[in-house]
């Protein structure tokens, strides 16, 4: 169980699945973004994730507009520190900008977007604890941290009377490094896990095998992240398995992430409702042991942290 339950402002549990708004105001214009928000709400999602850096602020602005009529029923997360580091001044300045864009006095969860090795952790977490003391942030999280970084930061956070409640790692069928240390750490330490990129930038949706385009063809970072041939072979295997079982590849991919016992709930996203629907379908799919094993076999599991392969 997480250290503190993730609940909405009206004391209801936040949805297990999370909708990520990285496309709002970018690949999804305002109308498409609103349709995605409404489709997520219709599916029962109450947890929405954004960041100060997403689409130059348009993501936060649009999410704030859509969420305003029912703010108390929603769980809103944003992130700071992707640009400019995790120093006090940068966190406070960008978080004020985020709250202005969102039109919200407070957020339910504030993540540090990535590790900052140049700023003392004491400065960072004293700042976050201060935001909590002022009632501006309910939970603290970290994204893109290694397990050792989480534990080092957690020790410092505790010294200021706060703690890391949630982590946000990358995790999907072809990006399984989190299984080595991050997920076991979260399970033993009682930290909630909200993984991003369950579809691997769209690779696991099957669209690239069918000649489609998207982040892997338009963004050099994603192209490099998913360049290895074996990842594309795994994606092709997923498409074949989806055909055999009658599920969409994206549904299987998201359900696989959700099935890990340490995962609190995956973050799903899309640039259109048609793209989103198969991910939402995973909310109603529980993998049986045989199907889970067949999905596991599509991509190699990472070596144990000790690299003693005989113990894998």
H or E segment to which residue 186 belongs:
helix 182-189
Quote the DSSP letter at residue 136. S
Q: What is the 3-state secondary structure (H, E, C) of 7-56?
A: ECCCCCECCCCEEECCCECCCECHHHHHHHHHHHHHCCCCEEECCCCHHH
- Active-site residue, from 54, 82, 111, 196: 54
CA–CA separation, 81 vs 95, rounded Å?
9
Paired tokens of 244: 């055999």
Paired tokens of 251: 């549904």
Quick one: CA torsion of 278, 280, 281, 282, rounded to 10 degrees?
100
CA–CA separation, 185 vs 179, rounded Å?
9
Crossing angle for the helix pair 289-296 and 249-259, to the nearest 10 degrees: 100
Indicate the burial class of 290 (C-beta count within 10 angstroms; 0-12, 13-18, 19 or more): exposed
Sheet of 75-80, strands arranged across: 192-193, 164-168, 137-143, 107-112, 75-80, 47-49, 18-20, 267-268
CA–CA separation, 242 vs 282, rounded Å?
13
Residue 54 annotated as catalytic: yes
Question: Which are the catalytic amino acids?
Answer: 54
């Amino acid at each position: 169980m997480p250290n503190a339950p993730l609940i909405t402002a009206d004391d209801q549990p936040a949805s297990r699945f999370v909708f990520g708004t990285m496309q709002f105001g970018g690949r999804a214009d305002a109308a498409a973004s609103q349709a995605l928000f409404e489709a997520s709400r219709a599916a029962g999602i109450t947890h929405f994730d954004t960041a100060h850096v997403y689409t130059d602020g348009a993501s936060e602005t649009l999410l704030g507009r859509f969420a305003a009529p029912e703010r108390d029923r929603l769980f809103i997360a944003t992130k700071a520190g992707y640009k400019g580091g995790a120093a006090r001044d940068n966190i406070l300045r960008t978080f004020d900008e985020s709250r202005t864009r969102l039109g919200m006095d407070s957020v339910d969860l504030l993540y540090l977007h990535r590790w900052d090795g140049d700023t003392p952790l004491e400065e960072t977490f004293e700042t976050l604890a201060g935001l909590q003391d002022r009632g501006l942030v309910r939970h603290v999280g970290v994204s893109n941290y290694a397990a050792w970084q989480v534990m080092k930061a957690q020790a410092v956070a505790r010294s200021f009377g706060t703690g890391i409640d949630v982590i946000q790692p990358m995790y999907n069928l072809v990006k399984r490094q989190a299984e080595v240390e991050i997920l076991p750490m979260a399970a033993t330490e009682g930290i909630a896990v909200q993984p991003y990129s369950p579809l691997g930038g769209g690779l696991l949706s099957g669209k690239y095998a069918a000649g489609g385009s998207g982040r892997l063809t338009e963004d050099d970072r994603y192209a490099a992240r998913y360049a290895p041939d074996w990842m594309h072979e795994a994606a092709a295997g997923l498409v074949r398995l989806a055909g055999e079982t009658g599920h969409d590849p994206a549904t299987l991919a998201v359900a696989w992430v959700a099935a890990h016992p340490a995962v609190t709930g995956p973050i799903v996203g899309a640039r259109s409702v048609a793209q989103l629907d198969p991910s939402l379908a995973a909310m109603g799919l529980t993998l049986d042991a045989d199907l889970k094993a067949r999905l596991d076999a599509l991509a190699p599991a990472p070596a144990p942290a000790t690299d003693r392969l005989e113990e894998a």
